[in-house]
Structure 1
């Protein structure tokens, strides 16, 4: 028999239930492992996301000894076509729960069924699949803290075994797919991305586990320390499974480990929210009826370039452009500035992040933006407005992070880097003046919120 494993957000060999199911289905026959470059997703993916995906597909192909089959086109035609071409009796996938992914899979499964090819879903990209964590009434959780407690109580299985040998068969690459990957990897002005592949992901994880996890709760909010796991780009593509990480700290306790588990729980919570509320991908989960938003094009462009005149905001936006990644604390600060200081509706910023983040995950990114904007799952609604000066002074007290990313301010020592307007030589090296007055815009944001209440 021949079985096909169609990869999506599961680009790895270890802890891969769908891979094991496909191998078992193949028996003494062949296993074709394939990835489809779908123009609907690829063409709108942005150069950073596409380059990161292409790099990890190349790394996986190496791990499979050159046996990853690359296809191009609409999966509703391409996957059944592959199954027919190789004589497959079954197509195996990791279950997808995003709105677009679930609709796509239903259509592919229907097409395969017409040819009597079995569609098999095994496993999930999450420790606990979306929809499985519910309250006593069987309803989904709407707030993170009770979700996280129930998520821990629910638990998750041990990591799946790693197959030593696979009966791999290559089914010929599509020239358009290989060309798309080549173009993505050779695009100009790409940031310096992480090392791709499963082995690199595990090396990064174990370095964090051994060196930084012990002080995670105390240092994770310090962007200058670079003490976060940096696993989000790998989790985004399933290069490593969250269950693998949880298993490797299962015997540890204490505030640091629990804080790290909470960060994984946030990812699973947002996936669950999207699963339960598909329209929340690009619409307010909790709309503010009558809220007025602005469209200040010049100010938005200054925000995108990191030229707002607020040092910590600009540092975060410049890190995004340089690395294709941004520290989580800075994601909140920069998002608050766009939504509360510039009064811009959050999807504008969410799209910019997805274009430039190599870890740009629809559920986590867009619900994170709504959390900041006050239209999502946040228990503290719209009236939270981050002060970009005090946030910088609190989380970057030495000014090291700002000076790293804003060279125009490297002549200012310590906290002075957060308030160049307070120093005679603050603008000596061309740093831009503030594009808005935060105090005034905070009052305006709160006034707009009050009008929606009335």
Structure 2
């Protein structure tokens, strides 16, 4: 009797190591590795995410000796067609927990069942699957600290074993929807780091060896190389958080503890999105939608292009356009400036970030924006308004970060770079003047919050 192959449908798990769905597919027999370019996801993506994804897929294809099948179209149509073409009875996936992914997988499952085939979900993209943890009363967690405590107490599995003897089909055929890889968009001068599983593993081990011990203090310093920059590999599943947590299991330093907490934040936001899928686009605290927001006009464009006249904000926005990434501390400063100084609805900023970021993750990005905007899961958040000058001086004390991305201010030494208006030659190289008065706009924001709260 001829052995039938199994399909392994890659999505946000672009790796071969620590991959339970791959092991489940390999247990069925030969594996057809497949990626579907879904127009519902590809269309809204910015070019930065498209390029990073394509490069990650090419790295995966190389590790599979050119066996990766890339199709284009609606997965509910593509998957049954590929299964019929290859003779596969089962399609294996890592469970998707996002709002669209859950709907899409249900449609694929129904389409496969109609053809007497099966969708098999194995594993999760998180250490603990979203929706797993509950409070003592059985309700979802709404605050991070108790979630983090429960997350640590629950624990997570060890990394999955090596795929070892997995056999991949070498001639699974060309695509049903067009038989081509999408063309890679031109990013101009924007430079991305190397993508793929091996590059992610190198970056992780370099961080472990060189920066983990200092992470607790350096993670907030955009002027130093103090973070792991693994957000994109985690987003695309080039590296699993379970792998990271296993490597940290014997580490007791402040840096290791802080890094575990950052992983917990990522898992918390995924859990919030699982339980409240509407909060990807809507307010977690709906009453704050009544704030007096401004239309995203000229001020929004100045913010998005890094021309606000506030150096650390502008450096962050220019970093994003140069690298497809922005330091987390500066993300918070820039987001606070848009919502609290320019009074623009957080959803406009969230969309701008998702357009430019290589690590654009719906749960982390949009709930991070809600946290800053005061409409999210934080217990008393709206009064947190970042002062861009004091934040710049505190976390970029010598101004190195600002000078790296704002060439018009490179003539200013040290912390003077954060207040060009105080230097006689601060605007000599064409840097724009401040578009708002922070102290005034802070008061406007707080007064408006008091109105809504009342």
TM over 0.5: yes
Pairwise CA distance, 1:254:
2.7
Asked if 1:19 is matched to 2:18, the reply is no
Counterpart position of 1:136: 136
Quote the residue 2:202 is aligned against: 203
Q: Which residue of 2 aligns with 1:41?
A: 41
Segments of 5+ residues of structure 1 without an aligned counterpart are: none
Q: Please give the secondary structure, in 2, of the residue aligned with 1:354.
A: helix
TM alignment of 1:429-440, pairs within 5 A: 429-440=429-440
- Alignment length, in residue pairs? 449
1:10 counterpart residue number: 13
Instruction: Output one character per residue of 1:75-104: Cα deviation in whole Å (capped at 9) or x when no partner.
Output: 010011111111111110000111110000
**Unaligned regions of 5+ residues in structure 2, if any?**
none
- Taking the aligned partners of 2:294 and 2:362, their CA distance within structure 1 comes to 24
Give SS of 1:49's match. helix
Deviation at 1:434, TM superposition (A): 0.4
Equivalence for 2:351: 351
Distance 1:75 1:122, change over 3 A: same
Select between 170-179 and 378-387 the one with higher mean Cα deviation: 170-179
| Structure 2 CA distance for aligned equivalents of residues 379 and 332 of structure 1 | 17
SS of match in other structure, 2:124: coil
User: Does the aligned pair in 2 maintain the 1:96–1:124 contact within 8 Å?
Assistant: yes
| Structure 1 residue 176: Cα displacement | 6.4
Is 1:294 the counterpart of 2:294? The answer is yes
The alignment status of 1:239 with 2:233, answered yes or no, reads no
| 1:289, distance to aligned residue in structure 2 (A) | 5.2
Whole-angstrom CA distance in 2 between matches of 1:138 and 1:205: 36
**C-alpha distance in structure 2 between counterparts of 1:61 and 1:449, whole Å:** 52
Equivalent residues of 2:315, 2:406 under 8 A apart = yes
User: Does residue 1:309 correspond to 2:312, yes or no?
Assistant: no
The correspondence of residues 384-423 of structure 1 with structure 2, limited to 5 A, is 384-423=384-423
Say if 2:213 and 2:253, in contact at 8 Å, map to a contact too. no
Could you say what secondary structure the match of 1:45 adopts? coil
Offset at 1:179? 4.7
Shift of 1:290: 2.4
Partner of 1:434: helix, strand, or coil? coil
Rounded Cα–Cα distance in structure 2 between residues aligned with 1:126 and 1:200: 20
1:178 Cα deviation (Å)? 6.5
| 8 A contact 2:213–2:254 mirrored in 1 | no
Q: Secondary structure at the match of 2:168?
A: coil
CA RMSD of aligned residues (A): 1.2
Name the SS of the counterpart of 1:122 in structure 2.
strand
The residue that corresponds to 2:172 in the other structure is 171
Q: CA deviation at 1:180?
A: 5.0
1: distance between equivalents of 2:190 and 2:395?
25
1:98-113, aligned counterparts within 5 Å? 98-113=98-113
1:128-277 pair list within 5 angstroms: 128-169=128-169, 170-174=171-175, 179-181=180-182, 183-184=183-184, 186-189=185-188, 191-277=190-276
Q: 1:49 to 1:304 in 2, by over 3 A?
A: same
Q: Distance in 2 between matches of 1:180 and 1:272?
A: 33
2:368: which partner in 1?
368
Write out per-residue CA displacement over residues 116-164 of structure 1, whole angstroms, 9 at most, x where no aligned residue: 1121100000000001111112221101111111100000000001112
TM-score (norm 2): 0.97
Q: Residues 395 and 188 of structure 1: is their aligned pair in 2 closer, same or farther, counting only changes over 3 Å?
A: closer
Question: Paired residue for 2:279?
Answer: 280
| Contact persistence 1:374–1:382 (CA under 8 A) | yes
CA distance, structure 2, for counterparts of residue 107 and residue 179 of structure 1: 24
Change (3 A) 1:78 1:152: same
The alignment's TM-score, normalised by the length of structure 1, stands at 0.97
Output the CA distance in 2 between the equivalents of 1:313 and 1:173. 47
Preserved contact between residue 82 and residue 176 of structure 2 (Cα < 8 Å): no
Distance in 2 (CA, whole Å) between partners of 1:385 and 1:114 is 54
Deviation at 1:12, TM superposition (A): 0.2
Counterpart secondary structure, 2:8: strand
Contact 2:215-2:259 within 8 A present in 1 as well: yes
Q: Is the 8 A contact 1:37 1:177 kept in 2?
A: no
CA distance in 2, matches of 1:177, 1:395: 50
Moved more, 426-435 or 285-294: 285-294
Distance 2:228 2:129 in 1: 22
C-alpha contact (below 8 Å) 2:33/2:168 kept by paired residues: yes
Report if the CA contact (8 A) 1:92-1:121 is conserved. yes
Equivalent-residue separation in structure 2 for 1:42 and 1:196 (angstroms): 18
